[in-house]
Amino acid sequence: MFEQKLYASWGDMDFNSHMRNMAFLDKSADVRMLFFSAHGFPMEEFMRRRLGPVVMKDEIEYHREIHLLEEIRVTLSLAGLSGDGSRFLMRNEFFRENEKLAAKVTSAGGWLELSSRRLIAPPEELLSALNLLSQTDDFIELPSSVA
């Protein structure tokens, strides 16, 4: 399972003194991009290929609060994928220092070809990297985005 240790920083906090909604989404995107970078697709490679991940929907489930400067463990797994890899569901789980689940973020997305601004199937190397992710218990096969 891919995971990263992060901290809840000052800018992540809301008025109620716990991690704000957008901070969960930002950290989820950071962990996704760290995964891609660690598996041959740093930002430079995406730019060279004129390709990028695009998220079309995020869903956050809250379980426990995360507070300022708390160390968190954020995992990344695959909750769904189309056969050609053109659509994905990625899930980040946020765990507090005591290993209690704090939140889940499920992001639905695909791959945008930056010149044509159209959804495409990813190159084989990127699809292979996606298939390295562990699958969630509720993993589903998605329909393709390309016709």
Task: Return the higher-pLDDT residue of 147 and 63.
Answer: 63
Q: What is the mean pLDDT of residues 19-25?
A: 97
Q: What is the mean pLDDT of residues 1-29?
A: 96
pLDDT at residue 108, as a whole number:
98
Q: Using one digit for the tens of pLDDT, what is the confidence trace for 77-133?
A: 999 999 999 999 999 999 999 999 999 999 999 999 999 999 999 999 999 999 999
Give the contacts of 45 (CB within 8 A, at least 6 positions apart).
none
pLDDT band at 1 (very low <50, low <70, confident <90, very high): confident
d(CA 143, CA 145): 7
pLDDT over 90 at 147, yes or no: no
pTM for the predicted model, two decimal places: 0.95
Q: Using one digit for the tens of pLDDT, what is the confidence trace for 35-46?
A: 999 999 999 999
Average pLDDT, the chain: 97
d(CA 71, CA 17): 15
Q: Beta-carbon neighbour count of residue 98 at 10 Å?
A: 8
